[in-house]
Each structure stands twice: as structure tokens, then as C-alpha cells.
Amino acid sequence: MCFQLELSWRAADSVSGIRKYSVLLARDSTGLSSIAGPFVTKHSTEKISGLSLEDGGRLFVIVTANNRAGLSANLTFGQSLWTPASQSFRLKTRSDSQLLVVCWGGSDFQDPESHVLEFEVGVGSRRNSTDIVPYPPVVSAESQERSRAANISSVNSTCAVLRLQELDWNLIGEHTYHVSIRCTNGARLTTTVFAEPMVHTNRLPTQGIVMDEDPDANLENMFGVPHDIRYQLRADTLRSRWSGFKYATSFQTYFTKVSATNALGTVSATSNGVTVESRRAKLGLHPMNVLPPVANETRRYMVEMDFQSSLSTIRVQWTRPRPPLDVIFHTAYWSLERKLTHDWQTVEDFRRVAYNNDTVVLTNLHLKNGSMYRSLLKLCSERVCSEAEATPELMVLHTPPSPSDWSVNLEPDNKTINLNMKEFNQFPSSEKNTISHYQWSLQHDGANILNWTDIDLPSSDIASKSIIIELPWPVRSTKCLQLAVRCFNRAGLSTIDKRQLRDCSAYDPKLIIDPTVTDAIGP
């Protein structure tokens, strides 16, 4: 489950004052088993989002206060997380002419540290939403009074009721409703469980026509389709064709009914039915290669990428199909192909994969540096699968770029550097540009004197490019300084190469002169 945590505390130091706070989330009071952080702040409040916490575990918050004298003190407290005993149970929904009833088992929601649980009902047009009937605002002091509202059940109950007039129940066509229950304990922690999507329609399909066809005839004839027949010679096979049954949605279910008649009467049997998504075989998954969110960063979402450095892992994310296809086609199969010139070669056959939040992580792969890959994804329901959809090409860059020939010239003003360089190399025969950007810095004994600064290379086809770099101050001839150039490839790997501004080993004349220090006595 994904949580948001809001913290506040009080601390004081009347002598030197508080300089900063450090907040650490851990699984134990020692802080050795860290979950997130440390987060540094100057305020006595902190809001932490996107936490992925274990069901039934304990979360310890460790706040460290540092004063201006360099001394620190810790405050540690633990809060039990609560979740249902099992997430596998289902909500049961039923409706009559006026009410929608939602029920659950008495032991489905459990919290050993809270004797009072409050339940609220929400309804949305898609999963994880309550845009049709939102949850009421949670106010702990008024739980008993709020339980009289239409979409709040009584405390510790096992059923809740909604009036159908709140759901636009009489709209023409077919509509899908996602009913959910939000349960809140005494500490105002919540968990949410969704029922299976409830599809409601209030209009019959338009009636089509059904034709009996000769089972031995070709599927196509001079008129396009076989003729409708009244007699046939085979007794073990029947073949039918139908058309014209129009639904309010493209999601259609057909049944086959066979009747046998003799002088005594008629007997019939009907199939279980087959459901057809009639518009297209593709589900519109639009799979893409993604980077994972990074711990301790504000970015909590996936970022699409075309390059990566890993040789063993691929992450693929896709768009969830529209209801009710998202519930029916829920089993994911993945395959991997490698590009060879203009063709694609299968390196991993389709296999069933586990996924979370429409994202699958594939590990223990054996990718090749410099090769391009694409993932194929399809969703299945039993033995029926959608058409496989491919991700954009993904290139593996496992090594940093290789330095090229380049030179520097320090102008007489000792402040202007003329940099002549060829672009660094990495798979020059590749059809993709693998170099991302360049930076420069001034160094002495391997340490930066200036911060890294981006280099804007001219966008010309000339192999050797000339760049003018202006230093913030003239350099002296008392130290051996080097201009460092750092090149990044598009997978984030970098190479640093250096050139001396002056020939530090020259001796006739000597270009690097140690400074002269003279002791003097003042007047």
C-alpha cells in the first residue's frame, strides 16, 4: 500500500538554538533498518509521500535535533500499521429498484489496536476513483453522527447502502461502476478495498439475423458468404453465421443454442457463451520502457527511457485497458526481441509474468552492450490473448564513452581557453546518437576548482569543433592546472579526460614557478 505521513514535533534549545532536524523512517528503533530518509529540514513539521509500507509491520520515526553547538538529541516513537487480515476477500454488491447494498465479512477488516472501525462507501467510473459518489470528509469526533449519511455505514458494521438515484442509474446505455469501501481506525489510518466492477445496462441489444450454413461449404463463394440452408446431410455438425446484433458497447457476449426435434417434441441445449471485444484485437496498452522511482527523490513516478546501462534488468509499464477489459484480461505475458540489422530476433519467448500497478520488472536477463531490444506484451483471459504490442526500441549502454582527440590553448590574457575537440566515441556505427552532453571544469591535483559547467557544442558536421571558455579570473603560473572534460552518454554513464593548461614538465623555459614566500618584519 502507498501511504502519506504527516509529522510534527516540538524541540527547544534556549542556549544555542536548533540548527536543523533530521527525520528517519525505520523498521526498528535503532534506525539500522531504514525505510526512507533521512529527510533534513529546518521546520518542526514534515510531510512524506509515496511510502510503500508492509502490511502489519511497525513504523518507527526517529527525529534528530541538532543545535548550533554541534550537539544532537533523538526522539524515537513507533506507530503500528494496520491492514486487513487478508486482502483477498471480496465485497459483495447487489441492487434492487432503489438501493445498492455493499457487504463484507465481519472478520475481513481487523485492527487489534483499535476497537472502533468506521466504514465509508465510494463509487467511481474507473478503478481507484470516487468521482460519482466521493467519500465524505473524515472527522473522527463526529463518526456516530456521520454514520447517518447515505454513504456511511454504522460503526463496526458489515453492510452499507447507497441510493441508486445518486449513481445516474437510468442513463441510456451500459455503464461500469467501481464500488469501494474505505475503513478508518481510531488513529485515522485507512485502507480501501474495491469490489468487482459492476456493469449496468438498461437497453437490450438490437436484434440481428442468424443463418444456417452448410458445414462442408467453403467459407467464401462467388457471392462472398455461403447461402442460408434448410437441409443438410451431416448429423454431427451445425454451422451458423449471425450479424446485426448491436450493443451499447463493443463488448458482446454470444450464446449458441441447439434444438433437436422429432415427433414427440423438442429438446434444447445452450452453450456457456463467448464474450467478444469486437472493435480490435489490440487493447491499447502502449507499453514503454521506464526507469524506476529513486529513493529520497521528490520524483515518485516512472520516467520513459530509450537507453539503459543495466545488462540484467528491464522495466516495462503499460496503460491499463478500459473497463471491463481491465478485469477480464488480467494475465500478462512478456517476450523480448533483439534487433539484428533490420530484423528482430526473439531472445526470450513469451512467458507469464507477475506485475504491480501495470508495471513488470524482468531480472536475470543477459543483454548485450550496444544492442537494441524491444519488449512485447499481451494480456490474456484464460486461453484468449490480445494482440502483442511492442515497446519503443531500448539500447543498452553498459560502458561509458571513449575519449577523443582534443586540445586546449590558454590565451595570453590567462583567462580565455580555446578548446578544440572531436566528439567522444561510443558505437559510432549505431543509428542512434548515444552521447548526451559535455561539461568542463578546472582541476588541480584531481580536485575541482570550479563547478562543472555545460559545454554547448556547435551543431555542425565538422569533425573538430572549437569552443571558447572564459574563466572567472586569470590563472597564475604557480600551479599545474588542468582542464577536465566530462562526457555523458544517454544511459547516464560518464568519462572524464584532462589536458594541462600549461606544460607542467617544461624546464626551458619553466612554465610552472613555485611562489616565493618572504618573511618580513614590519616597522
What tens digit of pLDDT does each residue of 359-379 get?
Answer: 999 999 999 999 999 999 999
User: Of 12-26, 147-161, 365-379, where does mean pLDDT reach its minimum?
Assistant: 147-161
Question: Is the pLDDT score of 141 beyond 70?
Answer: no
Residue positions counted in the chain: 523
**Quick one: 328 and 377 in the same domain?**
yes
Question: Is the pLDDT score of 143 beyond 50?
Answer: no
User: Of 85-89, 234-238, 304-308, 406-410, where does mean pLDDT reach its minimum?
Assistant: 85-89
Question: Is the pLDDT score of 138 beyond 50?
Answer: no
Q: In this structure, are residues 408 and 419 in contact, taking their beta carbons and an 8 Å threshold?
A: yes
Q: Is residue 472 part of a domain?
A: yes
Question: Is the pLDDT score of 507 beyond 80?
Answer: no
Q: Is residue 247 part of a domain?
A: no
Can you tell me the distance from the alpha carbon of 193 to that of 190, in angstroms, rounded to the nearest whole number?
A: 10
Average pLDDT over residues 251-264: 79
**Quick one: 410 and 489 in the same domain?**
yes
**Quick one: 33 and 109 in the same domain?**
no
Which bin fits 182, alpha (ψ -120 to 50), beta or left (φ > 0)? beta
Q: Which domain holds residue 475?
A: 406-500
Single out the residue in 202, 219, 247 at which a domain terminates.
202
User: Of 69-73, 266-270, 501-505, where does mean pLDDT reach its minimum?
Assistant: 69-73
**Quick one: 392 and 414 in the same domain?**
no
CATH number, domain of 163, equals 2.60.40
CATH number, domain of 345, equals 2.60.40.10
**Quick one: 192 and 102 in the same domain?**
yes
DSSP string, 5-42: EEEE-----TTT-EEEEEEEEESSTTS-SEEEEEEEES
Average pLDDT, the chain: 77
**Quick one: 365 and 389 in the same domain?**
yes
What share of the chain in percent tops pLDDT 70? 74
* pLDDT recorded at residue 483: 93
* pLDDT recorded at residue 152: 47
Single out the residue in 157, 186, 202 at which a domain terminates.
202
**Sign of the alpha-carbon torsion through 197, 202, 208, 210:** positive
Q: Is residue 188 part of a domain?
A: yes
Q: Is residue 230 part of a domain?
A: no
* pLDDT recorded at residue 116: 74
User: Of 74-83, 166-175, 466-475, where does mean pLDDT reach its minimum?
Assistant: 74-83
Single out the residue in 371, 396, 421 at which a domain terminates.
396
Q: Is residue 238 part of a domain?
A: no
What tens digit of pLDDT does each residue of 104-122 get?
Answer: 776 677 777 667 778 888 8
CA distances from 321 to 67, 92, 180, 285, 392 (A): 54, 24, 20, 7, 19
Q: Is residue 462 part of a domain?
A: yes
Residue of higher predicted confidence among 217 and 415 = 415
Q: In this structure, are residues 315 and 333 in contact, taking their beta carbons and an 8 Å threshold?
A: no
Average pLDDT over residues 480-499: 92
Q: Residue 227's CB: how many other CB atoms inside 10 A?
A: 11
* pLDDT recorded at residue 293: 56
Q: Is residue 300 part of a domain?
A: yes
**Quick one: 175 and 129 in the same domain?**
yes
**Quick one: 436 and 454 in the same domain?**
yes
Beta bridge partners of 378: 333
Question: Is the pLDDT score of 83 beyond 60?
Answer: no
Q: In this structure, are residues 464 and 280 in contact, taking their beta carbons and an 8 Å threshold?
A: no
Domain count for the chain: 4
Question: Is the pLDDT score of 97 beyond 80?
Answer: no
Q: Is residue 429 part of a domain?
A: yes
Question: Is the pLDDT score of 482 beyond 70?
Answer: yes
For the chain, count helices (H), then strands (E): 2, 38
Can you tell me the distance from the alpha carbon of 252 to that of 107, in angstroms, rounded to the nearest whole number?
A: 37
What share of the chain in percent tops pLDDT 90? 20
**Quick one: 333 and 355 in the same domain?**
yes
**Quick one: 344 and 439 in the same domain?**
no
**Quick one: 429 and 491 in the same domain?**
yes
Residue of higher predicted confidence among 517 and 328 = 328
Q: In this structure, are residues 465 and 458 in contact, taking their beta carbons and an 8 Å threshold?
A: yes
**Quick one: 161 and 188 in the same domain?**
yes
Q: In this structure, are residues 498 and 442 in contact, taking their beta carbons and an 8 Å threshold?
A: no
* pLDDT recorded at residue 299: 43
- Return the C-alpha cell found at 443: 582541476
The terminus-to-terminus CA distance of the chain in angstroms comes to: 77
